[in-house]
Amino acid sequence: MSEVSPPALSLPRYLVEQAVATALEEDLGGVGDITTNAIIPPDAQGDASIIVRKPGVIAGLDLAAASFKSLDPDVRFTRIVEDGSKVEAGATIARIAGKTRALLTGERTALNFFGRLSGIATLTAGYVAAVEGTHAKIVETRKTTPGLRALEKYAVRCGGGTNHRFGLYDAVLVKDNHIAAAGGLAEALNAVRTAVGHLVKIEVEVDTLDQLEEVLRFPIGAVLLDNMDVGTLKRAIALVKGRAITEASGGVTLENVGKIAKTGVDLISVGALTHSARSLDSSLEWKGS
Amino acid sequence: MSEVSPPALSLPRYLVEQAVATALEEDLGGVGDITTNAIIPPDAQGDASIIVRKPGVIAGLDLAAASFKSLDPDVRFTRIVEDGSKVEAGATIARIAGKTRALLTGERTALNFFGRLSGIATLTAGYVAAVEGTHAKIVETRKTTPGLRALEKYAVRCGGGTNHRFGLYDAVLVKDNHIAAAGGLAEALNAVRTAVGHLVKIEVEVDTLDQLEEVLRFPIGAVLLDNMDVGTLKRAIALVKGRAITEASGGVTLENVGKIAKTGVDLISVGALTHSARSLDSSLEWKGS
Amino acid sequence: MSEVSPPALSLPRYLVEQAVATALEEDLGGVGDITTNAIIPPDAQGDASIIVRKPGVIAGLDLAAASFKSLDPDVRFTRIVEDGSKVEAGATIARIAGKTRALLTGERTALNFFGRLSGIATLTAGYVAAVEGTHAKIVETRKTTPGLRALEKYAVRCGGGTNHRFGLYDAVLVKDNHIAAAGGLAEALNAVRTAVGHLVKIEVEVDTLDQLEEVLRFPIGAVLLDNMDVGTLKRAIALVKGRAITEASGGVTLENVGKIAKTGVDLISVGALTHSARSLDSSLEWKGS
Amino acid sequence: MSEVSPPALSLPRYLVEQAVATALEEDLGGVGDITTNAIIPPDAQGDASIIVRKPGVIAGLDLAAASFKSLDPDVRFTRIVEDGSKVEAGATIARIAGKTRALLTGERTALNFFGRLSGIATLTAGYVAAVEGTHAKIVETRKTTPGLRALEKYAVRCGGGTNHRFGLYDAVLVKDNHIAAAGGLAEALNAVRTAVGHLVKIEVEVDTLDQLEEVLRFPIGAVLLDNMDVGTLKRAIALVKGRAITEASGGVTLENVGKIAKTGVDLISVGALTHSARSLDSSLEWKGS
Amino acid sequence: MSEVSPPALSLPRYLVEQAVATALEEDLGGVGDITTNAIIPPDAQGDASIIVRKPGVIAGLDLAAASFKSLDPDVRFTRIVEDGSKVEAGATIARIAGKTRALLTGERTALNFFGRLSGIATLTAGYVAAVEGTHAKIVETRKTTPGLRALEKYAVRCGGGTNHRFGLYDAVLVKDNHIAAAGGLAEALNAVRTAVGHLVKIEVEVDTLDQLEEVLRFPIGAVLLDNMDVGTLKRAIALVKGRAITEASGGVTLENVGKIAKTGVDLISVGALTHSARSLDSSLEWKGS
Amino acid sequence: MSEVSPPALSLPRYLVEQAVATALEEDLGGVGDITTNAIIPPDAQGDASIIVRKPGVIAGLDLAAASFKSLDPDVRFTRIVEDGSKVEAGATIARIAGKTRALLTGERTALNFFGRLSGIATLTAGYVAAVEGTHAKIVETRKTTPGLRALEKYAVRCGGGTNHRFGLYDAVLVKDNHIAAAGGLAEALNAVRTAVGHLVKIEVEVDTLDQLEEVLRFPIGAVLLDNMDVGTLKRAIALVKGRAITEASGGVTLENVGKIAKTGVDLISVGALTHSARSLDSSLEWKGS
């Protein structure tokens, strides 16, 4: 993980602030943490650490920090590791010191962000490790949690993956339905090439080698090889001969991703990275407790 | 599943509309679906069905319907089953007819909601089935996806579970840190009882039978028995003798939940329901394709 | 008033910030305070105090402070008393020093919050004083100002009252219409008990002793004794014998609340606390003017 | 009341929709009306009427209607009277028919808007009646509920009053502090006249006849005669001789407003209209109940 | 330009913050500046200046400063000149020092605000210069960019203009259609005078001298002389004799505005100020580059 | 213009609705159109047409229609031409029939959108016409109006242009500062290629032919030839030999764009399209008036 380039691991500040504000409102409603407010004196100070109970790759520390700082701007949040780091079970990730109320009230929000994003980063890193030695990159799909796409794509980057398109607006992916509606591949590609800007790449989805051969008669940026077995994938990549970026998709698992990567495919997209990752088990440990 | 009372399975309209609006904006950006808009004529009509590829329990049809209707108010969305229904792999869940553009553009947003919520409902239903024959109820925790708590709690209800508190604002849960800060259990309970309203219930977390005995000297609504093994749980429930609702928490899995339920505990809370559910595998099938 | 536990008197920061932002936008529109901006030099400094012209109980100082600080982050807002304090006519509540523009422009917004919430706190404290010596608590209803419920419920707490449910979502209140629609009390209670979580309390509204007797055959959390005269209330409370929390409601005034409290009822809910409180008369006094 | 010109009694649609959305979210949270949803079948139909228990002037029917229609777009809301109408105790104001759930869930939100705005309209109408036969108009001040200013100013219009400025942005009101900071009245007026547009009127506040005489040496739109007794007011109006609109302010009550009006003053501003009106007592009556 | 009164040149803070937040979100989407984040180290520091390539009048420095500070709160933004200043081509307007990432990422947003508002201020100042020596004021119209009206009206003030009404809500402008619908001018004026507050001025639009004569029989605040040639304007102003503010409108250009001003008209409204101004050409110059 | 492919000319519904809501709130404030509401009966019906006074290319009809429909959902808005159409001076663009209030109140908002976007479309079409016969495409820059980028880019498409990147998030543009900070072009390109997804294209800005030669040693998607004269541009394009898309930028005018296009460059980016377009002169004509 150490070779992940940290400069690219950044999130716009407003995304962090908006996400944390939404999450805290959801948890606090109109009264706040009634247990804590009734019991803990406003000025009591506390110390705690975020630790992980399982090994994993870290993502979401900005969100965890903002969860506490939104409640007490004077909280000191000290990172022991940075997003993108691989850690062992039991590792301490960050120390938090400030008003006890802020620590108790912000705990769940901080951990919900941290656990979820680290879960995605960890699963991504698992796939990335499984393709080590090949040149294949692991990418996520648009099967993200509604409202959290930008954060989840960030977690994929933390895990060593790279990002597919962000939405329907920033790249073209031509599928069966489009080709059928256009009256043919040539017509579909022509329509789309005319309509979109010069910095927008076009990718076309194919299910068979016959479709692939037809597609390769046109200049396109990438080809999505959907649900092909490893043998077919190999033949597909041989056909492409570097004329387009190749992406394998469909039925990818931690078990078969290594074999898929060895076909020489450029990208492997994995829906599970975002739709089925388990949260990384983490908790807040109180100093002295 | 048929005995799930449908009247309780409802979501406020504005939650559905806001969630769908957020998700569509995320996917459409400032231009919309550039592939579809370039290729598909604005008035072309299409027909498709939502089907599931795995067995499961359905949740989120309001959100799926709204995903398409936000793009084309004239879309006809016909439910074959309702939220809370148990379905087999391959089952058709709903039919959608309307502008092809709306169907292609809304597909991913609709399925992201449907798959995620149905995944939670399905996992919940698995736990509910595993405790059948006992009187234990399955409840989720506050380990929900930031921003989606209300929807995920709804999915838990669809799966036959019931809901724990919605946030820090609507019920009291007194933990170790609170008791230590208050200078004792009596002080903590007194402070909180004075501060909160008569309709707010108080639950106290205990780790040991000794703590439980102390807690039971006070009138409380519920007791959270944290991380106890089955033998300890049994003794705890015997101690309580119905004076408080009992909740088991910590380390619950599909494998051990049945045994936990047989201790006679009232509630079993399962963080995994929301933090680690896998999406229910589903897709849009086009008529004729 | 001095025995009001301060820890419970707190409002989530984001509620304060959102409410003040909304109020300032409403007063400033797209140009700001055109009188002040045309006349007062940007760097002129001023000093003023919030004083009250009538005796009362204070609520809303966070909102008053934020009204000025949103306009000039360097304003010094010094509290002489805290929310929940009882003060005499003429008392100085807080001192404000900073840019004269911020003081002049923020004055009305600060006083609108402060006067309104202190008005509610003062009226509440009047009811609380009138039941002194009994164990009855004063609670508000859902007859709050649209958009300000959380703030108004906070003001009730400042006045020594406690809060009823926050909305239709956090507690159950079964009324006539529900019972009729369900086909009977047993059916209604059964439906609702099945649907809601274990931390949600159930209260049932009754108009007569006969209804009360029927209700008491079920385990419920609280009973709302609606519009009963003092004699009937006494008999009702005797019937309940501590099996449920008792709440008196309807036609409560400062004149009769003492007698109602002496019936031994647990709670008295008063709609007027929020729907008909008069603002506490207050103003900004300028140093040297 | 019948002479109130209905065309002017209108509110922008978006204000109504936003206010109702905010209020419903506040009452419904993330689950909705848990009592009603558990008990009332989704398709049950109901019939009810809004009635008033006290005489008054009506305001806010658009908001009441929208409260129900937001929950069930098919609700039929039939007005018996219109905003601005004077009604007797017991009068039926509107009939509502639609899903029972929508009626039960929307009831409190609808009545909170209706009662509050009608309370303001009623109090305003009381002041308007008390100055009948004079040419004085009754206006409110900026002492409005934060967030509801536009609605409350509308209610004043419904009660037969007219509106003072909407905020600090749409008219100039020069006060003592401004004059002192500017180094004199001439300087203050010159600064403001240069800065503001030609459609912005300038009003100056005076406390004494001496100040008034100085002010009258300048061309201004209106003069605020603050806290003057009736004798002083008369002399002030004689001094003005129609060269500016005259406004009396401070200490106005239902008892003294008639005498103030008879001084010949053009406007009387009454803070109590918005800061201390009591809600008009109203309720939902169910057909057959 | 030096005589522009600086105190009036101010914008509410929240307008600046909201506008900048919206603009940055538009430019950063869910990932931020992918070029800069990939290449520039997070802690690299940079220095740059805003310079103008053409002569002009400056407006929008608050927005430029906020564009950088939103990305890096520690950015130092040093103004060389203030809004409202006239500057030569090549002038340095402000210096910015802080994280290189913030400077590169915020550059376009800062310049988009600065260039657009300065363009309006510059065009306004051109009209203001062209009427020098007359008493005519230059005002904009409601032909502003949707969503930016308050900012654009501010820019007009920076250029030495004054503001017409802010919207349909703060002043009355009676046009042909209104008069026709009301059944005559008297009826229209009466309806409107009854409905609006005492601080709202009434302006009436006329196309001919005949209409003007009719209008002058009523007490109105201002008259809009629409599309009259210079000769007719002169006769109109003679007819008005100071009984109302006079505004010339329609077909005003930099070429003819001087002649129009010499008719003695009070105000000249120019739609082009906001609907057709060209951005002031400006750029960020990097120190050492 | 007739060859503009209509399918691509579409805007997400929510963008239209949000933009119109913002613009109407800005114009209506808290009271609405006080002139129209005071004078025009609520049920009066009117008929009008949008006409243009100058020739141009149309853009923004969805926004114009929504401006009226937001005020009266029953307005009939009939398009005579569609967005992207070239029209003559005096042409009728659309007919609007509905409540007179809605027509009068919505007029300015509708025309502000229509005029501004049509102005951009018209200017774009002028550039497109000037390069006819070459294969050069006209694209806009990021010098758009803050908050309106998506709408303005749509207008460019209506005028026959194509879109450059939407923001800093969807494509890479490497400039001098990036290269200097990275320590060389190779380092910059390597950093960015590692960080971004496979569908993100990389463009590099060069000022000289020397820089271009260096850049061409790397595989990049596009090269921005900044501020080169026509002779240099020709040599640059000869150097590129089709290995990258070529974009000319800087100092482009209607006068020189034809010559630039004849160099064989692929794209010509023109900041003026969005930062300095004049609104297309248009108005609402009333039937019978």
HEC secondary structure over A221-253:
CEEEEECCCHHHHHHHHHHHCCCCEEEEECCCC
Catalytic residues of F: 108, 143, 175, 205, 226
- Identify the pLDDT of residue C8: 63
Distance from the Cα of E30 to chain A's closest Cα (Å) equals: 5
Which tens digits make up the pLDDT trace of D104-148? 999 999 999 999 999 999 999 999 999 999 999 999 999 999 999
Q: Annotate chain D with DSSP letters as a single string.
A: -TTS-GGG----HHHHHHHHHHHHHHHHTTT--HHHHHHS-TT-EEEEEEEESS-EE---HHHHHHHHHTT-TT-EEEESS-TT-EE-TT-EEEEEEEEHHHHHHHHHHHHHHHHHHHHHHHHHHHHHHHTTTS--EEE--S-PPTT-HHHHHHHHHHTT-B---SSTTSSEEE-HHHHHHHTSHHHHHHHHHHHS-TTB-EEEEESSHHHHHHHTTS--SEEEEET--HHHHHHHHHHHTTSSEEEEESS--TTTHHHHHHTT-SEEE-THHHHSPPPPPEEEEETT-
Kindly report the length of chain C.
Answer: 289
* Exposed/middle/buried for residue D70 (C-beta within 10 Å: 0-12, 13-18, 19+): buried
Backbone angles phi, psi at A283, to 5 degrees: -160, 170
Binning pLDDT at 50, 70 and 90, where does residue B129 land? very high
Query: With contact defined as beta carbons under 8 Å apart, do F8 and B36 qualify?
Result: no
CB A68 within 8 A of CB A102: yes
Nearest to B276 among A29, A40, A278 (CB): A278
Residue with tokens 């927008």: A200
Which positions of chain C have pLDDT values less than 70? 1-8, 288-289
- Kindly identify which residue of chain A lies nearest to residue C11, measuring between CA atoms: A31
Give the ipTM of the model, two decimals please. Answer: 0.94
pLDDT of residue A28: 95
B56-57 vs A222-226, strand pairing mode: unpaired
First to last CA, chain D: 33
Least confident of A274-288, E84-98, F45-59: A274-288
Closest C-alpha to B120, from B96, B97, B137, B139: B139
CB distance D25–B10 less than 8 Å?
no
Question: Which three-class secondary structure state does DSSP give residue A132?
Answer: coil
What is residue E1's predicted lDDT score, i.e. its pLDDT? 32
**Nearest-neighbour CA in chain F from A221: distance (Å):** 8
Measuring CA to CA, how many Å separate B237 from each of B125, B254, C39, C193?
25, 21, 73, 22
- Cα(F215)–Cα(F245) distance, integer angstroms: 13
**CA nearest to B155, candidates B29, B15, B14, B27:** B15
At residue C235, the pLDDT reads: 97
Query: How far E274 CA sits from the closest chain D CA (Å)?
Result: 16
Strand partners, C226: C249
Q: Which of C108, C142, C193, C262 is catalytic?
A: C108
Dihedral (CA of B194, B195, B200, B203) sign: negative
Average pLDDT of every residue of chain F: 93
In which order are the strands placed within the sheet that holds C222-226? C137-139, C267-269, C245-249, C222-226, C202-206, C172-174
Q: Residue B75: which of B106, B54, B51 has the closest Cα?
A: B106
Q: Which two tokens stand for residue A189?
A: 């590609």
Q: Phi and psi for D226 in degrees, rounded to 5? A: -95, 125
- Which is it for the CA torsion D96, D156, E205, E132, positive or negative? negative
| Whole-angstrom distance, CA of residue C148 vs CA of residue C60 | 12
Cα separation, D277 vs B170, whole angstroms: 31
**Cβ pairs bridging E and F (under 8 Å):** 210
Res. D7: pLDDT tops 50: no
pLDDT grade for A6, boundaries at 50, 70 and 90: very low
Subunits touching D (CB < 8 Å, at least 3 pairs)?
A: A, B, C, E, F
**Which structure tokens are listed for E44?**
């690299």
E108 is catalytic: yes
- A59-102 pLDDT, tens digit per residue, is 999 999 999 999 999 999 999 999 999 999 999 999 999 999 99
Cβ distance of F27 and E113 shorter than 8 Å: no
Residues 6+ apart with CB under 8 A from C196: B162, B163, C172, C202, D34, D38
Would the pLDDT of E289 be above 60?
no
pLDDT value, residue C243: 94
Task: Decide: helix, strand or coil at residue E269.
Answer: strand
| Chain D residues closer than 8 Å to E247 by CB | 198
Cβ-Cβ contacts under 8 Å, E169 against chain F: 27-34
Mean of per-residue pLDDT scores for chain A: 93
pLDDT at B48: 96
- To the nearest whole Å, the CA of E32 is away from the closest chain A CA by 5
Torsion of CA F269, F274, F277, F278, to 10 degrees: 170
E27 → chain B, closest CA residue: B30
pLDDT at E182: 87
pLDDT grade, residue D101 (50/70/90)?
very high
Secondary structure (3-state) at F204: strand
| Maximum Cα interatomic distance, chain C, rounded to a whole number of Å | 72
Q: Using a CB-CB distance cutoff of 8 angstroms, which residues of chain C are in contact with residue B164? A: 197-199
Give yes or no for residue B7 having a pLDDT over 50. Answer: no
Token duo for residue F61: 């009809």
Cα dihedral sign, D189-D195-D196-D197: positive
Q: Which residue has the tokens 């994993």?
A: A56
Catalytic residues of D: 108, 143, 175, 205, 226
Quick check: helix, strand or coil at residue F35? Answer: helix
- Alpha-carbon distance of A113 to C107, in angstroms, equals 40
Residue of E nearest to D221 (CA): E199
pLDDT category at B8 given cuts 50, 70, 90 is: low
Question: In the prediction, which pLDDT does E244 show?
Answer: 95
> Does pLDDT of A266 surpass 90?
yes
Residue E8 has a pLDDT of 63
Q: What is the pLDDT of residue C2?
A: 34
pLDDT tens by residue, E151-207: 999 999 999 999 999 999 999 999 988 998 888 999 999 999 888 888 899 999 999
Q: Which whole number is the average pLDDT over B191-209?
A: 92
Burial of A190 (0-12, 13-18, 19+ CB in 10 A): middle
Q: Alpha-carbon distance A272 to A267, whole Å?
A: 15
DSSP assignment of chain C, as one string?
-TTS-GGG----HHHHHHHHHHHHHHHHTTT--HHHHHHS-TT-EEEEEEEESS-EE---HHHHHHHHHTT-TT-EEEESS-TT-EE-TT-EEEEEEEEHHHHHHHHHHHHHHHHHHHHHHHHHHHHHHHTTTS--EEE--S-PPTT-HHHHHHHHHHTT-B---SSTTSSEEE-HHHHHHHTSHHHHHHHHHHHS-TTB-EEEEESSHHHHHHHTTS--SEEEEES--HHHHHHHHHHHTTSSEEEEESS--TTTHHHHHTTT-SEEE-THHHHSPPPPPEEEEETT-
Dist. CA A245–CA A236, nearest whole Å: 12
> Which is more confident, A147 or A288?
A147
Q: E189: phi > 0 → left, psi -120 to 50 → alpha, else beta; which?
A: alpha
F149-206 tens-digit pLDDT: 999 999 999 999 999 999 999 999 999 889 988 889 999 999 998 888 888 999 999 9
Tokens 């010509």 identify what position? F268
Statement: residue A1 has pLDDT above 80 = no
Is residue C214 annotated as part of the catalytic site, yes or no?
A: no
Enumerate neighbours of A (3 or more CB pairs within 8 A). Answer: B, C, D, E, F
- Chain D: residues touching E (Cβ < 8 Å): 5, 7-8, 137, 139, 157, 162-166, 169-171, 191, 194-201, 203, 221-222, 245, 247, 266-267
| Distance between C271 CA and the closest CA of chain D, angstroms | 10
Q: Can you tell me the distance from the alpha carbon of C162 to that of C124, in angstroms, rounded to the nearest whole number?
A: 10
pLDDT over 70 percentage in chain F:
97
Q: Find the residue in E nearest to C31 (Cα).
A: E11
Q: Report the catalytic residues of B.
A: 108, 143, 175, 205, 226
The Cα E18–Cα E141 span in angstroms is: 23
pLDDT at A2: 35
Q: Which tens digits make up the pLDDT trace of C228-267? A: 999 999 999 999 999 999 999 999 999 999 999 999 999 9
Q: Using CA atoms, how far apart are residues A224 and A212, in angstroms rounded to an integer?
A: 9
Q: How many residues does chain E have?
A: 289
DSSP F214: H
The β-bridge partners of F267 are: F137, F247
Inter-chain residue contact D7 with F41, CB threshold 8 Å? yes
Cα distances (Å, whole numbers) of residue F13 to A181, B39, B161, F18: 23, 18, 37, 9
> Across the strands, what pairs with D121?
none
C24 to E14: CB separation less than 8 angstroms, yes or no: yes
Q: Supply the DSSP symbol for F105.
A: H
Instruction: Give yes or no for residue B6 having a pLDDT over 70.
Output: no
Mean of pLDDT values over E277-286: 95
**Distance, CA of D157 to CA of D7 (rounded, Å):** 11
Asked if B7's CB is within 8 angstroms of D39's CB, the reply is: yes
